[in-house]
Amino acid sequence: MTGPSRGILTAGERQFACALGKGGLCPAEDKREGDGRTPVGVFPLRHLMYRPDRWPVAPETALPVQPLTPQDGWCDDPADRAYNRPVPLPYPASHELLWRDEAVYDLIVDLGYNDAPPQPGRGSAIFLHIAREGYPPTEGCVALSREDLAWLLRHCGPETVMEIRG
């Protein structure tokens, strides 16, 4: 089941199918905005964002938790001072909507990639989120089934990291 945009996420003794970027994996230093690649490296799990209308009770996790609103976005404009940061909507620079009709962003874990501090153009919005049916490629994120992501969250805390290997 692995391929350039498919992978296996291992957590202890458990393994989960996951979707990766449509451009496959790349060394973190080669990652560029919009290239569709998932960066290789070790990244902390920063916090969980979730849709409270679809998860009336916050998912169980020891990560910091933030309910989303329709006014939540994430800046992906390398020329903007808020690059690779959450932004309130409406926002004048290019951004992703975090409140979506489809379920992929019902649960979003912000991976600590290119955020300390963000380097313009090195990639933004690298998340762990819910996979679409059949695990099609992402834009550079790691995506799990809803059930697998909920299980994983129950076993994560502030010290948890994700290692992405090529």
Residues marked active site are found at 129, 141
Compute the distance between CA of residue 165 and CA of residue 65 in angstroms, rounded to an integer.
27
Compute the distance between CA of residue 159 and CA of residue 26 in angstroms, rounded to an integer.
24
Among 164, 161, 163, residue whose Cα is nearest residue 63: 161
Amino acid residing at 98: L
Q: Cα torsion for 57, 84, 3, 166, to the nearest 10°?
A: -110
